[in-house]
Amino acid sequence: MVLISPSILNADFSDLRSQIELVNKSEADWIHLDIMDGVFVPNISFGFPVIKSIHKCAQKPLDVHLMIVQPERYIARFAEAGAFMITVHYEACTHLHSTVQLIREAGAKVGVALNPHTDVGLLKPILNEIDMVLVMTVNPGYGGQKFIESTFQKIKDLRTLSSDINPELLIQVDGGISTSNIKQLHEAGVDVFVAGTFVFQSENPTETINMLKKIA
């Protein structure tokens, strides 16, 4: 399975509706929303009003990635705003099991993200309770960064770990994804690809999305 989730963080916010329409008309599967608070990562993005507006015109499920501290305070509101998948960072959750339960209770799918330096083995106790692991392939906070090559082994390790515990687990990657590495990443075990800069800075974002889907 290959799912493409274009990141709106890199879209043209002066004409956001048309950018969402581009994704709607493409072969993309989800729409990725990066929520940043300026504390967990050194950048600020957007909040509930923008998510609600996107939800009104989106024809794809909203894949919401929370790069914020204390995400448990806002889980219900993100679900109410239209989130299909809510992904929280392992590094931001003091009580990860409790946060996972909150996402389930809110009616959303559960994702847990790992920063590049975080070992996949730390998720072993909770792998059977979540739907997806997001492996960050760049340091979170900014688009356009170079892909971290050591991530390939990390993905393979995660796929091996999940094969017995949760064979249905989705593995997502975010950062530096392009036509040059998507096939190799899929072969390593990735199911869901987030692409932002590569899509929205291309001449034809819709065609770029479709090309990524085809190559993978």
Residue 8 has a pLDDT of 95
CATH number of the domain that residue 202 is part of: 3.20.20.70
Residue 216 has a pLDDT of 75
Residue 178 has a pLDDT of 93
- The H or E element spanning position 5 is strand 3-6
Contact 172, 135 (CB under 8 A): yes
Distances (CA, A) of 166 to 9, 95, 100, 129, 213: 31, 21, 16, 8, 25
pLDDT in single tens digits along all 216 residues of the chain: 899 999 999 999 999 999 999 999 999 999 999 999 999 999 999 999 999 999 999 999 999 999 999 999 999 999 999 999 999 999 999 999 999 999 999 999 999 999 999 999 999 999 999 999 999 999 887 666 788 888 999 999 999 999 999 999 999 999 899 999 999 999 999 999 999 999 999 999 999 999 999 987
Residue 142 has a pLDDT of 64
Q: Which two tokens stand for residue 168?
A: 């249905």
Q: Are strands 132-136 and 109-114 parallel, antiparallel or unpaired?
A: parallel
Residues taking part in catalysis:
34, 174
Residue 64 has a pLDDT of 98
Q: Domain range spanning residue 34?
A: 3-215
Residue 143 has a pLDDT of 64
Residue 113 has a pLDDT of 98
- Report the domain count for the chain: 1
